[in-house]
Structure 1
Amino acid sequence: MKRFAFACYVSAATLLFSRCTTVIDAKLDTGPSELSVDGLITDQPGEQTIRLTQTAGYFDSSTPPAATSATVTVSDDAGKTYRFLDPDNDGYYVWQPTGKDTLGRVGRTYQLTIVFRGETYRATSKLNRVPPVDSLVFVKRKINPISTTEGYRAEFYSTDLAGATDYYRVRFFRNGVLQNKARNIILSEDGAFEGASQVTDGLLFIAPIRLSVNPDSLYKQNENVKIELHSVSADAFRFWNLLRGQVTNGGLFATPPANVPTNILNANTSGPKATGFFITSAVRSLSATVSTPNLRERPY
């Protein structure tokens, strides 16, 4: 009787759930195309580039169409204006320096202005200070404790600038190639994690940040590694933080997708919106080769 009753419960549950299954043919509206801005201005010598594209449908995997025929300028709070041109008509707007002139200077505030399809978009960013990268060393390690495969782990050293809360982004290159996976979006507040500035202001970057410049596999002998330390504003820090969260959002405990905020604003508040972010950064870098002079012994 017990086996019969259990079989009846299973049959009833199966029938219930099978009747609750509904096929939904969702037709997603792609919505209007928006201007997308990828703008990074630095204090480094050479040309500066701002890329403009147009957004596409969620399921469209093709390259976003370029936003051409726009007027792009950057002006600073010292009264100087820099014009960006798109000579190849591909959405890459470039400012070319004359002589040894540089566009970005620490302490100045910059405004980006874009006129596109009758709309005027603006964004503002201050170029903050950044400390130097003091050294870059390598330690021989196994991929994991039970593996026989060995390689080298990189570690850079830098000291946070004292007296204020500073925000940084760390980028690293392997043999000249930027490592740009989601896990490689490395952010730091005063040389530590977010919220630790009251403890770490003016101190050496903490070990997890110093050791974050490693790819999935260990480095090999004679490979070249370059570290770039970028200053970012508090708003840009939040942008990168949220973007990293959205890119890595997945799995059992994933949260609903959300739009990442932008600082690109349409002067016409009822006009079409824009996406992306305008960032200004001071950059300090250091390169080193995995070779005997740069090898160190570490207990961890």
Structure 2
Amino acid sequence: MKRLIIILIGFVFYSCEDEVSIDLKEAPSALVVDAWINDKAEPQVISLTATQGYFNSEEPRGIAGATVEVTDSKGNVFEFRDNLNGKYTWDPTNVAEKIETVGTSYQLRIELNGKVYTASSTLHRVPTIDSLKFTFKEEQNVFQPEGYYGEFVATDFRGQGDTYWIKAYKNGIFLNNPFDLNIAYDAGFNAGGNIDGFVFIQPIQDAVTPLNDDLDAIEPYIIGDSLYVEIHSITNEAFYFLQEVQIQTQRDGGFDEIFAEPLENVSTNIVDQTPDLNNKVIGFFNVSSVSGRGRKLLE
């Protein structure tokens, strides 16, 4: 009987080695709007691209020829220049119009191929970063090796409902792996945490230390490394959008995928003013206040 079981197990593993070719139907291309702008005194960029096949690993195709502008509730108009590569830029230097007043609402308008797309966002408050710290830690396990671990210290405003995107840069390079996405609702992970008006919880502070390229272990800082952290205020709608992005992108693969949520497009606040079943639009528009602080790890 034992021998029969061994033979059956061997057959199962052998059969798993067969290659399976899946013929996926090509879905219609959709417009992707990447419109995350802020109050920093640097050129602001809105990107328009087209979706592509699941197995296509090329850079998404930029879409030129659109008219892109943002207006605010005070009547200011921010015209984004078409760079003919899918990137549309507005430079805040040497112009009277600024993105600066908390509570101001902003409206995005895109005209492309006779169609109009719109979205809205409000500029919310952002706390300052009190300090950045490096702490030397002994090896805990293979996933937490010995080295210097970074963290930031900042305090959420009193009053529930503030949401943030915390971005970290190591040696000037933005940490943009899926597992580096770091968002907060007040000082915690979500609205149900009821952590309002406190210092951000430790896991959020610690998330500015990156993972290695294989995304399976923390990569500590070394002497000479620099850390720069920004807090971006985001709308509650943007927070839930990024939560959906986390679900869709933070996947370990392998056996865990059996229990993971199915892949699907995340929500969007981009509205097609002339809806057409053959023309889809995805993406998001958000206007942020930003605070930042940097530090270099010295001996």
Whether TM exceeds 0.5 here: the answer is: yes
1:90 equivalent to 2:97? Answer: no
CA distance in 2, matches of 1:264, 1:146: 43
1:256 equivalent to 2:282? Answer: no
User: Is the alpha carbon distance of 1:157 and 1:33 closer, same or farther for their aligned partners in structure 2, counting shifts above 3 Å?
Assistant: same
Give runs of aligned pairs for residues 216-231 of structure 1, distance below 5 A: 216-231=218-233
Secondary structure (helix, strand or coil) at the match of 1:238 reads helix
Q: Which moved more, 1:56-65 or 1:170-179?
A: 56-65
Letter in 2 for 1:255: E
Q: 2:282 aligns with which of 275, 283, 286?
A: 275
User: Is the alpha carbon distance of 1:166 and 1:197 closer, same or farther for their aligned partners in structure 2, counting shifts above 3 Å?
Assistant: farther
* Contact 1:43-1:105 within 8 A present in 2 as well: no
1:105 equivalent to 2:80? Answer: no
Secondary structure (helix, strand or coil) at the match of 1:245 reads helix
State the identity %. 34
Pairwise CA distance, 1:99: 1.8
Q: Which moved more, 1:177-186 or 1:137-146?
A: 137-146
TM-score relative to the length of structure 2: 0.85
1:284 equivalent to 2:294? Answer: no
Deviations 1:225-268 (A, max 9, x none): 00111111111001111101101235342222122011111001
CA distance in 2, matches of 1:247, 1:147: 20
CA distance in 2, matches of 1:217, 1:8: 47
Structure 2, gaps ≥5 residues long:
12-17, 211-217
Q: 1:125 aligns with which of 105, 121, 127?
A: 121
What does residue 58 of structure 1 align with?
54
CA distance in 2, matches of 1:209, 1:274: 32
Pairwise CA distance, 1:159: 0.6
Letter in 2 for 1:236: A
Letter in 2 for 1:248: Q
Q: Give the CA RMSD over aligned residues.
A: 2.9
1:71 equivalent to 2:67? Answer: yes
Aligned length: 281
Q: Which moved more, 1:209-218 or 1:143-152?
A: 143-152
Q: 1:48 aligns with which of 29, 38, 44?
A: 44
Q: 1:188 aligns with which of 180, 184, 191?
A: 184
CA distance in 1, matches of 2:104, 2:122: 6
The structure having more radius of gyration, on CA atoms, is 1
Secondary structure (helix, strand or coil) at the match of 2:69 reads strand
* Contact 1:140-1:152 within 8 A present in 2 as well: yes
Structure 1, gaps ≥5 residues long:
16-21, 293-300
Secondary structure (helix, strand or coil) at the match of 2:56 reads coil
* Contact 1:113-1:120 within 8 A present in 2 as well: yes
